[in-house]
Amino acid sequence: MATPLEGRTVLITGSGRGIGREVALLAGRLGANVIVNDPGVNVDGTGGDQGPAADVAREIVGAGGIASANFDSVASAEGGENMIKQAIDAYGRIDGVVHVAGILRDRMIFNMSEQEWDDVVAVHLTGFFNVVKPASVLMRQQRFGRIVGFSSASGLVGNTGQANYGAAKAGIAGMARCVARDLGRYGVTANAIGPGAATRMTQTVPDAARQMRSRAGVQGAGGPATPESIVNRLREPRYVAPMVCYLLSDQAWDVNGKVFNVAGGVVSVSWDETPDRTIAKAGMWELDELQALVPQMMAGLRNPAPPPPDLDLPGRPVTQEATA
Amino acid sequence: MGALEGKVALITGSGRGIGRGMALLFAKEGARVVVNDPGVNVDGSGGDAGPAQQVVDEIKKAGGEATANTESVATAAGGEAMVKQAVDTYGRIDIVVNTAGILRDRMIFNMSQQEWDDVIAVHLKGHYNTIKPASVLMRQQRYGRIINFSSTSGTLGNTGQANYGAAKAGIAGLTRVIARDLGRYGVTCNGILPGASTRMTQTVPDSARQLRQAAGVQGAASAAPVQQSAYAGLREPEYVAPMVAYLASDEAWDLNGWLFNVSGGAISVAHHPTPMRTVFKPGLWELDELDDAVHNVLLRGLDNPAPPRDDVEVAGRDVPAKPLA
């Protein structure tokens, strides 16, 4: 097997299980020195277990690769710094940072506690800062680096019950776009992945929730994939790994500031959130002008969670069905 | 009768700039307004009850109704106090507009933990802090309008703003989720990507813009729109207000989960970051196959927003590195 990551040292957060594990295993096979980070917590962030990270590191080494395990939490600045320090101490450099670590605390916004918000934002979004900041100092100096953040359709498209997770995940894409511009000139790239795979994390979304969303006409990410579909057969997390390892490789030197969706054998590049349709006036808009023109601009674009027909709603034209 | 007659609105950060323009227009359209602003400096330091009170005075002088609030949106207690003031003073809360924000620009390799935390706290958590308590009441009354302020710094990217860009892109994601959580209860949630000349944009020095341009770095806060479009060239912050007032009105009951660019007289609905171009293989990709697919299909014609400098020796780049002149 070719070893395009030979001599490179990469840190993969949350690589004790799921997608992170597959990225770590493939990076190890491709020749990289891998820091396998995972505190081994439950999906909600509780608990802790050194087993998963140690097992993955052992598996890489057993296959003839180079790896060492790290059990720090990405939610603290010290944790992030420790991971980078371990890379330097063990292998003399840090070339790639892939932030896969994440937890879930799903709750509808009107029931979401401050703790649920804080914990999720701390692990995902501030966690990305905690590893990228110390790595960026070294990557800038060595004029080489690869940064890959894990975003999600929950934030890029939107999903019910995930205000904390969706905000953090969309934030990761935003941070990748900014860091790409901060570091691109120094030979460093930063990109984000919106992954799709069946893992321990997606198992926490109950089928009942999916069915409820579907009945209420609420468009959600992470909808049901029928067992028969080819895409579903390709739901194993290992299918996400090749694109991540490609982004870590020298070949991807000019791939920067982009958001990719990767699920099964599908790889997409996302639209930048640029203007799609525009109305313009050389002056101040009046509200009645906007009332006339905005609906035209929005024609064909669906409300992702429309109010039920029996809800008495000011502004909505009274239809025959509603009055019947 | 005004478009917002009988409505009660909380507008954070409305002592100055875009927030102030909205507070004045909302009141003119008949809304009773909680004008929130702790009157801090752009970097979040200091504090001054003056700006919020001045806007309230201006609204009252014009015959409108308003009350000042100087809490910080960065704490849950602050957000709750704002919603409580709306309910205590006017009996309800119909509209929340989240405009408050600070800046601590720094290149990522120099950004301190404090600079990260403070910006995330005001922008991203600040949105949660007002939306959470308001959403409880809006759900109960089966009516509500939430309008958030995102930024192209996050949705497109900008140098020196990893904290701000992350927070603002996070707000875009939050907006899309809230729309789905609350839509069925007659509540809408949308986001604004504003363009205007305010105290905040004045902190971006011209030298930084020139530096970016010289380095070939695509920035969000470029001066380009001013030259390109007479419509977007109207940079006064008051121009952002009408679209927000429209989104806050009854007529916009079915607009939900969108991001709108609003700058001068130009209003756009932004693309969601959904897949634009796709490649598929019914199996595991090899890295060489991905190299081909990425360069020749997915990214064909798309720029690297910040290509490596010519004098940087780039592993993988075919052309030899050129020495500095």
User: For A154-170, how does the pLDDT look when each residue is reduced to its tens digit (9 = 90+)?
Assistant: 999 999 999 999 999 99
Q: Contact A182/B143, CB-based, under 8 Å?
A: no
Q: Strand, coil or helix: what is B67?
A: strand
What pLDDT score does A319 carry? 65
Spatial distance between the Cα atoms of A152 and A175, rounded to a whole number of angstroms: 13
Structure tokens at B39: 């009157």
**What is the per-residue pLDDT for B222?**
44
Of B120, B249, B261, the CB nearest to A126: B120
Nearest CA in chain B to A8: B315
Lowest-pLDDT range, A217-226, B29-38, B279-288, B302-311? Answer: A217-226
Give the pLDDT band (50/70/90) at residue A199. Answer: confident
Q: Which helix (H) or strand (E) holds B295?
A: none
Helix H segments across A155-229?
163-183, 207-215
**CB-closest option in B185, B275, B304 to A254:** B304
The rounded percent of chain B whose pLDDT value lies above 90 is: 79
* The one-letter amino acid at B9: A
Query: Mind listing the pLDDT tens digit for each residue in A131-157?
Result: 999 999 999 999 999 999 999 999 999
> What band does B218 get if pLDDT is binned at 50, 70 and 90?
low
User: Given this model, what pLDDT does residue B109 score?
Assistant: 97
Is residue A106 scored above 60 in pLDDT? yes
Give mean pLDDT, residues A218-231. Answer: 52
Q: Tell me how far CA of residue B241 lies from CA of A154, A282, B96, B227, in angstroms.
A: 29, 15, 14, 22
Q: Which residue of B has its CA nearest to A220?
A: B180
Whether B198 shows a pLDDT value over 60: the answer reads yes
pLDDT at B166 over 90: yes
What pLDDT was estimated at residue B232? Answer: 57
pLDDT above 90 covers what percent of chain A? 83
Contacts of B277 in chain A (CB under 8 A): 268-269
**What's the pLDDT score for residue A318?**
77
Q: How far apart are CA B213 and CA B199, in angstroms?
A: 22
Spatial separation of the C-alpha atoms in residues A202 and A285, rounded to whole Å: 45
Mutation for A interface: B75, B148, B180, most A CBs within 10 A: B180
The model's pLDDT over A271-308, given as tens digits with 9 standing for 90+, comes to 988 999 999 999 999 999 999 999 999 999 999 999 99
More confident residue, A72 or B212: A72
The pLDDT of residue B228: 45
Contacts of B169 (CB under 8 A, 6+ apart): A170, A171, A173, A174, A175, A177, B150, B154, B155
* Confidence category of residue B226, pLDDT binned at 50, 70, 90: very low
Q: Within B183-223, where are the H helices?
A: 206-214
Q: Which residue of B has its CA nearest to A77?
A: B113
Of B113, B254, B307, the CB nearest to A303: B254
What's the pLDDT at B219?
57
Query: Which of A186-200, A206-220, B60-74 has the highest mean predicted lDDT (pLDDT)?
Result: B60-74
> What distance in Å separates residue A144's CA from the closest CA in chain B?
8
Cross-chain residue pair B116–A133, CB shorter than 8 Å? yes
Q: Is the pLDDT of residue A216 over 70?
A: no
Q: Are A121 and B125 in contact (CB under 8 A)?
A: yes
Report percent pLDDT > 70 for chain B: 89
Over 90: is that where the pLDDT of B174 sits?
yes
Please list every residue in chain B whose beta carbon sits closer than 8 Å to the beta carbon of residue A220: 180
Share the mean pLDDT of chain A.
Answer: 91
Q: Is A165 a catalytic residue?
A: yes
Which residues fall within 8 angstroms of residue A228, CB to CB, at 6 or more apart? none
- The minimum CA-CA distance between B195 and chain A, rounded to whole Å, is 13
Side by side, the strands of the sheet bearing B32-36 are A275-280, B266-270, B259-263, B187-195, B144-149, B95-98, B8-12, B32-36, B65-69
Report the DSSP pairing between strands A9-13 and A33-37.
parallel
Q: What is the pLDDT of residue B233?
A: 63
pLDDT surpassing 90 at residue A212: no
